[in-house]
């Protein structure tokens, strides 16, 4: 069952538009004017060296980080501007539409898997103990292949299973966009594929996603576009077919292939 049908309206606004996003920590400029547009239903992966600003960038999208200047527009509507110009009501409404999955799962250790998922709607001011909510939690656990583990606690699960719970928990909030920050980096290698499979399924169902990842083959296979960041700017934003085309000798493409370990 598809989670949502992407809007096919020709004139639909992008799901997300980042305009000239800038951010510094003291003297250190981390984002130097980032522009990025993501259509509804699109999957965009962000790759780049350590310290290039990937985490900072995606954390600005759900306001875990402030921006110094620029703006973020959500489905054609004002969302985030710099601190002095962001409207709190608009911000809160927008934040409810964006889910995030972290490298470190961030599950509540003292709650069962089921309760972790049922809790999620409470953050959004919705009742978290309704029968409907319970049914949804079971449905989502089934989707990520963990129905049999509903009554376990996080420490009784493997890392890959915990990350799948974290994804189900994010889905319980019915987000329009999901941000992933290196969702498989904390996992043992044998658990990476089970988590990537869940993300791949979401992509097939039309979920709009931004995925920061070091899994290069996955990025090329799941994404509509792959973005390479370096020194706080986007060096290249291209479709996978264009990236892997060895005929393409433009310097940005060659460097992206090198970074991905694909150069001859
Ligand atoms: N809260 C902070 N205070 C000061 N500097 C920070 C803070 N957060 C990040 N930085 C700096 O900003 C730069 C970008 O960090 P960021 O975490 O966005 O990089 P990244 O591309 O996600 O790297 P990685 O691949 O290692 O996760 C780094 O130089 C980092 O040290
Ligand atoms: Mg990071």
pLDDT tens track for 137-148: 999 999 999 999
Cβ-proximal residues to 219 (8 Å cutoff; 6+ apart), any chain: 45, 47, 211, 213, 226, 240, 260
Look at residue 181 and tell me whether its pLDDT is greater than 50: yes
Is the domain spanning 13-97+177-184+196-264 CATH 3.40.50.300? The answer is: yes
Out of 114-128, 130-144, 157-171, least confident range: 114-128
pLDDT value at residue 86: 78
Candidate from 28, 46, 51, 179 with most ligand 1 atoms within 8 A of CB, to mutate: 51
Q: Give the side-chain half-sphere CA count within 13 A for 143.
A: 24
Give the closest ligand to the alpha carbon of residue 180.
2
CA of 104 to the centre of ligand 2 (A): 12
pLDDT value at residue 48: 97
Question: Which residues line ligand 1 at a C-beta cut-off of 6 Å?
Answer: 25, 30, 48, 50-56
User: pLDDT tens across 25-62, in order?
Assistant: 999 999 999 999 999 999 999 999 999 999 999 999 99
Tell me the two tokens of residue 34: 């980032």
The model's pTM: 0.94
Nearest CA to ligand 1 atom 3: 25
Look at residue 1 and tell me whether its pLDDT is greater than 50: no
Nearest CA to ligand 1 atom 18: 53
Report how far residue 138's alpha carbon sits from residue 132's, in angstroms, rounded to the nearest whole number: 10
Report residue 124's pLDDT band, with 50, 70 and 90 as the boundaries: confident
Out of 80-84, 109-113, 141-145, 214-218, least confident range: 80-84
Alpha helices (H) in the chain, listed in sequence order = 54-61, 88-95, 113-123, 131-143, 159-171, 189-204, 216-222, 240-244, 251-259
Among 23, 61, 31, residue whose Cα is nearest residue 44: 61
Among 56, 120, 63, 127, residue whose Cα is nearest residue 90: 63
Give the closest ligand to the alpha carbon of residue 53.
1
Among 130, 165, 121, 14, residue whose Cα is nearest residue 75: 14
Residue list, CB under 5 A from ion ligand 2: 55
Nearest CA to ligand 1 atom 24: 50
List every span in the chain annotated with CATH 3.40.50.300: 13-97+177-184+196-264
CA of 61 to the centre of ligand 2 (A): 14
Q: What is the mean pLDDT of residues 152-165?
A: 97
């Amino acid at each position: 069952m598809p989670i949502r049908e992407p809007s096919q309206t020709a004139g639909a606004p992008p799901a997300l538009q980042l305009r000239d996003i800038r951010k510094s920590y003291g003297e250190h400029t981390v984002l130097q004017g980032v522009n990025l547009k993501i259509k509804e239903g699109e999957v965009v992966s962000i790759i780049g060296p350590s310290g290039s600003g990937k985490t900072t960038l995606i954390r600005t999208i759900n306001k875990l980080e402030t921006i110094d200047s620029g703006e973020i527009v959500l489905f054609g509507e004002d969302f985030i501007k710099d601190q002095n110009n962001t409207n709190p009501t608009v911000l809160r409404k927008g934040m409810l539409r964006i889910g995030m999955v972290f490298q470190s799962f961030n599950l509540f250790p003292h709650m069962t898997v089921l309760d972790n998922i049922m809790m999620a709607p409470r953050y959004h001011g919705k009742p978290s103990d309704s029968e409907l909510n319970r049914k949804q939690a079971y449905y989502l656990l089934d989707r990520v292949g963990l129905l049999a583990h509903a009554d376990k606690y996080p420490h009784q699960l493997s890392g890959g299973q915990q990350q799948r719970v974290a994804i189900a928990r994010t889905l319980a909030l019915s987000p329009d966009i999901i941000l992933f920050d290196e969702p498989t980096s904390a996992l043992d290698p044998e658990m990476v594929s089970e988590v990537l499979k869940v993300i791949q399924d979401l992509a097939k169902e039309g979920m709009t996603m931004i995925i920061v990842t070091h899994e290069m083959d996955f990025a090329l296979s799941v994404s509509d576009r792959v973005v390479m960041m370096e020194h706080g700017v986007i060096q290249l934003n291209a479709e996978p077919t264009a990236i892997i085309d060895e005929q393409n000798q433009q310097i940005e493409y060659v460097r992206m292939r090198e970074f991905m370990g694909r150069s001859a």
